[in-house]
Chains A and B, each alone.
Chain A
Amino acid sequence: MLTKFIETMRQRISRPLQYYADICVRCGACVEACHFYVASGNPAHIPAYRMMLVKKLLQQGGNGRGILDWYRETGRIDDQTVTEIRHALWECTGCRRCAVFCPFHLDTGLLVNTGRYALLQEGLGMEMTAEIGNAELSKGEIVDALKEFYVEQVRELEGRLREEWGVPDLRIPVDQAGARVLYVPVVGEHAIIPLAKIFHAAKENWTLSLFTATNHSYFVGDIPKAKQVAHWIVDEARRLGVQVIAYAECGHATRTLLQYFDHWFGEELAGIQRMSVVQLVAQYLAEGRIRVRPGTFTMPLTYHDPCNLGRNAGIYEEPRALIRAVATDFRELTPGRELNWCCGGGGGMIAEPDMLEVRIKAGRPKVEQIQRTGARVVVTACENCKTQLADLSERYGLGWEIKGAVDIVADALVM
């Protein structure tokens, strides 16, 4: 059992992961950090325990009776082990809150990312996410065939918005060579509409990407595929000659953009700036390129730092600047910023119908935290967080309004 997992894991173990495994002292500082553990009480959800499980499997080789096996607690692998390892590696949002708590900052996100790929080789779980990843990968090969249809749809949207907003010169450029900004959305027009409005008001020379920012291969730890999917976008940016790649409000994609791209693509990115669209819009606001109506939002409002924008990318101030410009009753979460509770919906779980109950449960610390602020509007800047928060609001009967950081700017925009 788990032989493929062990084999793959041994091949894929990286330098930091190797010393993480060697130096974890199992002090337990991470116990209270994990929303999964706090909600479930299941030891397999404790970050250090996740590491212990993987380590135990990697040390297999004895017969389970020797003194070394007793010492390392490497017994036989049974169904119980398989169940535990699945809990440990799939039920994690990779939020890295535990890495902040860990005195050594050991990165359980990295362990889970590597481990998931190894579990997939064993045929254990999250096939749906992996499949979406494959679809994203093949889109790059057939994009020319899809282009006509896509442009047609965008034109339709453009026409509708012109009428709705009374802005006859509104444009949603697609595949526009010489644009300054390449905006890469996520699936769905909700990711395009507010930006069409903001870019128009800022008189930005922009173009819409033919691709989406999402990268499901990254969720399942298939880094070569994730890199190829991201490469379609780098190709597009170079072909069009843009100066800025701006990613939609999408957590994991933003993390790849800001933390992986220069390792993956190096020189290919020369002269191209990379940022979250939240940062870009905050720039417009700071430079006075757009104007908003202050006090557009008067009801109690809070901001949920998505792990991939906050802890994992350091985008803390920009969304707050946007909120302060349009809202009068902004309430911070406690603990906040890098100690903010994860929403419980990250790590690709949104795509898996089977994971719904798990993530609703894991969202409990988040729910309690938001309830304490009394906020009616929850602003965030990640597609996964938005979906999860909406699900939490519905399931716990909370009636929150969930908004993106760019949505509230679009709502308050002076055209």
Chain B
Amino acid sequence: MKRRNIVCAAALGAALGATPVAAQDTDTTTAEFEKFRAVMEEANPAELFELKGEELWRTRRGPKNASLEKCDLGLGPGVVKGAYVQTPRYFPDVGRVMDIEARVVHCMITLQGFTYEELAKQPFSTETRTPDVVSIVTFIAAQSKGMKFDAPQSNAQEREAYELGKAIFFHRAGAWDLSCASCHGADGKRIRTQQLPNFTNPQQAARGVLGWPGYRMTGGVMHTLQWRMNDCFRQQRFPEPKYVSEAITALLTYLTVNANGTVYKGPGIKR
């Protein structure tokens, strides 16, 4: 058990040999950070990306010179309100389960004529560039603020995605033999001063999806859950997943369904 904790710490490049401490020892640090976060939440720069995303959603763009206003996010063409908290879901038109980012990419390809290759080339934000998809997802997410997570499990495909996501969550692999559960499968784990939520604990499960998409103060960049999953895979020394792949959608299905019933507070702010 102890060995695995240390491996988790190393995954972020933290000092080896740091003794894992119980949650209560770092509660004051967490409480102080929560105060800081509360102040920042009143004026979250994520709103700037919402504005940008809204404009991108309505503007005619791409080779087909079309807007995304006919994009069906699961609640009918153009319906944005509530779509974020009700995905991932099964989309009969493509015959697969998609999370919100996968669906936006799908719409940008089918409605606007962009190619998967150009969207997947640099899909995540850097300090100097925020991909359009990220701003659009932030805009969509903000329209579900105050609504409860309600990712459906109403057909075989959605239930299969959940089971697949669960299997990926517990699958140990890679150079360090880690799984998601190595760090997120028990209470009181941390990486440096970061408390890690235990996604197998129903009380903490929602912490995996709350606050995403999130504005990261370090570097001032906007990130989506696709990025978060991608970065966890990198920290686990897993092969890099394909952008908006079925595996990531499945993992997001597992995390979101576990959070069902929790009120979504909108795009968040990260350290």
Report if A and B associate in a common complex: no
